[in-house]
Amino acid sequence: MGPASRPGIMAVYPMFRILLLAFALAGCAPLPPSPQDIQAKRFEPVPGKAVIYMVRDLPDISREAATVMLDDTMMGTTYPGTYFRWVVEPGRHQIRGFAGDAGSMTLDAAPDRMYFVQQSYTRGFTGFGQSFFRPIPEPYGRGAILRAELVGGR
């Protein structure tokens, strides 16, 4: 029997094919949501406080990371398909990009209310990224949050 007529490993070991397929599919399984993500997606108001959800929808203009600040505090980095949930004191708050990212938005938050903000991010010709923030209607915001993952929830 010459090399051309010798059966390959796939023909000799049919279980090998099944095992190979199982390993390939196992790598595609999404992780279950974290307890923090499940809690945030209950959309519960906080008495006397305002809740701000900021989501970066999937797909976004860019897949690059975008660091976000709330007032003067760095909150973390977003990617397409991620979101933040911030519980804040009522009053004026600024959401903005970090460093060379000049995107910003000011929000006047009332107690016992929820706000939904969408972030889009793109890299300009100057090499600096730019965030775009806009308020979105609650039904759209809830849907986007349900499809996204909480930043820092793992």
What average pLDDT values come out for the chain (154 residues) when binned by 10 residues?
Answer: 56 54 54 87 96 90 87 93 96 91 92 96 76 95 95 74
pLDDT digits (tens, 9 = 90+) for 111-124: 999 999 999 988 76
CB 112 within 8 A of CB 47: yes
Q: How far apart are CA 75 and CA 133, in angstroms?
A: 15
pLDDT of residue 1: 53
Domain assignment present for residue 70? The answer is yes
Domain assignment present for residue 74? The answer is yes
pLDDT of residue 23: 52
pLDDT of residue 18: 57
Structural domain of 107: 35-150
The CATH number of whichever domain residue 41 belongs to comes to 2.60.40
Q: How many domains does the chain have?
A: 1
pLDDT of residue 112: 97
C-alpha of 108 from chain center: 24
Written as one letter, the residue type at 130 is Q
